[in-house]
Amino acid sequence: MSKPLSGKIAVVTGGSRGIGRGIAEKLAADGALVAVHYGKGKASADEVVAKIKSNGGDAFAVGADLAKKGAAQALFAGVDQELKQRTGDTKFDILVNNAGIAPFVGFDETTEDVLDEIFSVNVKSLFLITQEGSKRLKNGGRIVSTSSLASRLPLGAVAAYSMLKAPLDNLAKTLAVHLGPREITVNVVAPGVIETDMAAEFVNNAEGRAFAESKQALKRVGQPSDVADVVAFLAGPESRWVTGQVIEVAGGTGLTFA
């Protein structure tokens, strides 16, 4: 069976766990060579790489702390070095901006340090990584960013996170126009409640899980693979006429007032 991403190269930020891991494994299964970015969890990234290779794919790990200045340059220094060794070039095809943090801190408890960290990781680094990445992205490439349902349905328990996911949606629209002449598509996936380590405090609680399911048309908690499959479509050839879009992957959360 043919693999739609055969011969493609993808960079996935935050690819060592949760949704990012699901995306990295899916893109590799579809034939891409995947750069699995990690912030601090090198062991987890190495585990993802090992699993991809055991399943017949190819990947490598690259580290960069996205909370620090120069994160974009640090990330691509590692990616460039690996790609030059493998292909003799630094060009690649797919950028997935997935890395993010979501401290469960309400409005009153949000300190300046917490706000700065969320902004640095979720917004600033994504902008700068996309800026650096677009210089290396091949014409006809793909950019997919992970936003959140919280940009449409903000959560009081993560007020700053909710506020700082919305900029990703607007950036995609801007970049879709800016990069359109190069036939690069730019889209966003906005997951709802997904069963990951980040959401463990919520989904591992019976009351929280029941609440999430009660708000969804599809009565189950989402899995990383649910998001990864949509990202794989947006990263692949069949999404060639889709750009500047925010696609909710949330099981139909909050469709009505009922």
Q: What is the C-alpha R_g of the chain?
A: 17
Which one is catalytic: 38, 161, 202, 233?
Answer: 161
Say if strands 92-97 and 137-146 run parallel, antiparallel, or are unpaired. Answer: parallel
Backbone dihedral angles phi then psi of residue 17, each to the nearest 5 degrees:
-160, 170
Cα–Cα distance, 30 to 116 (Å, whole number): 37
Here the tokens at position 46 are 């190495």
Say if strands 58-63 and 185-191 run parallel, antiparallel, or are unpaired. Answer: unpaired
| Strands of the chain, DSSP E | 9-12, 33-38, 58-63, 92-97, 137-146, 185-191, 246-249
Q: Answer for the pair 217, 244: CB distance below 8 angstroms, yes or no.
A: no
Cα–Cα distance, 201 to 131 (Å, whole number): 34
Cα–Cα distance, 141 to 136 (Å, whole number): 10
Q: What angle separates helix 71-87 from helix 125-136, to the nearest 10 degrees? A: 30
> Is residue 161 annotated as a catalytic residue, yes or no?
yes
Of the candidates 192, 190, 173, 191, the residue with the CA atom closest to the CA atom of residue 242: 173
Which positions are annotated as active-site residues?
A: 161
